[in-house]
Amino acid sequence: MGMKKTQDKKAYTIYRPLLDIDKPTIQLMCEKKRLTYFIDPTNAEPITSRNKIRNTIMPQITKLHP
């Protein structure tokens, strides 16, 4: 289900160059370059299966298997 590094649309291509870099590394890079790290507020909303899994199921699994 994951995102692809490139995705072709009809009129354009989406490139995701940071997809292989983990969040702590990106946050550190932003800190060093004095860039604002932005967290998408919709990540906390249960509007997609991915968000439901991330926000509901994964915390339960982590409690059982820390």
Per the structure, the complete domain to which residue 37 belongs is given by 6-64
2 has a pLDDT exceeding 90: no
19 within a domain of the structure (yes/no)? yes
Q: How many domains does the chain have?
A: 1
In this structure, what token pair is assigned to residue 24? 């702590």
50 within a domain of the structure (yes/no)? yes
1 within a domain of the structure (yes/no)? no
56 has a pLDDT exceeding 80: yes
Per-residue pLDDT tens digits for 6-49: 999 999 999 999 999 999 999 999 999 999 999 989 988 888 88
- pLDDT at residue number 1: 55
- Measured between its terminal Cα atoms, the distance across the chain in Å is 24
- pLDDT at residue number 65: 92
- pLDDT at residue number 7: 94
50 has a pLDDT exceeding 90: no
In this structure, what token pair is assigned to residue 7? 């995705």
